[in-house]
Every structure is written in C-alpha cells, then in structure tokens.
Amino acid sequence: MRTVAAAPVYFPVGASDGGGLHGLALSTTEGNATAFKVSTTTNPDDLAGLNEKLIRQQWRVIPEVNSSVFTLAVSPSWLKSEQLNYAGSKPTIRVVRVEDGAQGIAAPVTGLGQKDHPYTATASGFKTGGTFLIAQDAAAENDACTVYPNPAVSQATVSHPEAQSGARITIATVDGRQVYARELRAGATQTTIEVAQLENGVYLVQLQNNGRTFSTKLVKK
C-alpha cells in the first residue's frame, strides 16, 4: 500500500524490462489522500465495444478504504515493444476502467516508447479503483487523418499517422470506384496528392497502414 495525494506516486509493477521506468502512476486530483494497492494481470477482458487493447498488461488498482472520496488520475507507461499489432510511432489511446465498459477516457501520449523514455498517458476523472487497461482509440485516430484545403481545387495535403513500409493511400467515389492510389514513403506523416484531374464532388480518402484503415472525406471543387 502507498498513500496517493496530489503528487503522482509511481508503482513499478508490470515492467517487462525487469524494473525500467514504466509501470503505473496515480494521483488524486480531488478529495482525500488515499492508500492504494496496485497489482497486474494479463488476462484478456472481453468487453463489448472495445476495439483493441494496445498492450496485454492490465493494472488492478484497489483503494484501502472503498468509502474514501477522491478523483483519480491514472498514468500508465509502456514500451513500443509491448504494443500489440501497432507499429506506429505514437498511438492514440484511451484509458479504460473495465468495470465501466469500453468507453474510457482519452489521454494524450508523450514519450518515445523506449526503455529510458517510455510512452506515458494520463487520464483523469475516475471516481474509484478497479481494473485499468490501455485501448487504441480508433475514432480519434480516424480524426487524426485530415485533408486540407478541403474543398480542394488542384492539390490536397493529407495529414495522417506515421506511414509504415507498404502504407497506401487511395481515393474513391462515394459509390466505391477507385480513382487514385499511391504507396507512401515510410515515416511520412503528410502526403500531397494531385486532385485537379478529379471531377467535382465528394470522395473518400483511405489510408491503409500497418493493417489499419484510416478514412476521411475530400470535396473536389
């Protein structure tokens, strides 16, 4: 048990590198200082609506006194090598309390995913303990794929997650007819496409990257 208050308290549990800098940090953003016990589990949880766990690790956070009044900030840290089916440079995630279902709380990711500089995210607003996991936020990642200018006349730039080897971008009409395709340069996060040859109308832009598909709309004028 460790007492947690406004200053983050680090629990070095579940670090696969034998005690590196990653694990779980807790802080209370409101309410009483409370003692917590943190343990880990790798058992998969079958949650309706949960698209994909980012790492196998889960943390069990247990307050010493269940009646304590607090608002908890949960800060998991992890390595890129621990990520399941995601090789991008920095994922978009949410922290999920299993007992609440799959929605979770979106959290920005910092760090490099390396042993001395792990990825870290902080999600605030949990009112109790429970089992916490990290999930990929597919909706937010789709929001991260954007086109500008939009509407476009001659050129458009697509901003997207870091392209892995073999990543491909396509443009299709609303009825599914493909009118443009190209392979992306590995490591690219922006791609300029020529659209002058397209007829005016609405198109679907799709990025296929590392087994995932990101989509956005383009209006050609």
Q: What is the pLDDT of residue 47?
A: 56
Average pLDDT over residues 16-33: 71
So what's the pLDDT on residue 18? 45
Please tell me the predicted confidence (pLDDT) of residue 154. 93
- Backbone dihedral region of 101: left (phi > 0), alpha (psi from -120 to 50 degrees) or beta? left
Query: Which among 41, 12, 40 has a CA at the least distance from the CA of 25?
Result: 12
User: Is the confidence at residue 43, as pLDDT, over 70?
Assistant: no
Mean pLDDT of the region 5-23: 69
Q: Is the pLDDT of residue 157 over 90?
A: yes
Taking domain 144-220, whether its CATH number is 2.60.40.3080 is answered by yes
| Nearest partner of 97 among 147, 141, 62, 143, judged by Cα | 62
Q: For all residues of the chain together, what is the average pLDDT?
A: 82
Closest CA to 38 of 101, 126, 123, 132: 132
Higher pLDDT, 73 or 211: 73
Three-class DSSP category at 142:
helix
- What does the domain layout of the chain look like in residue ranges? 2-139, 144-220
pLDDT in tens, 49-104: 455 788 888 899 998 876 567 889 999 998 888 887 665 666 778 899 988 877 78
Q: Which residues contact 191 (CB under 8 A, 6 or more apart)?
A: 157, 158, 160, 163, 169, 182, 184
* For residue 180, pLDDT beyond 90: yes
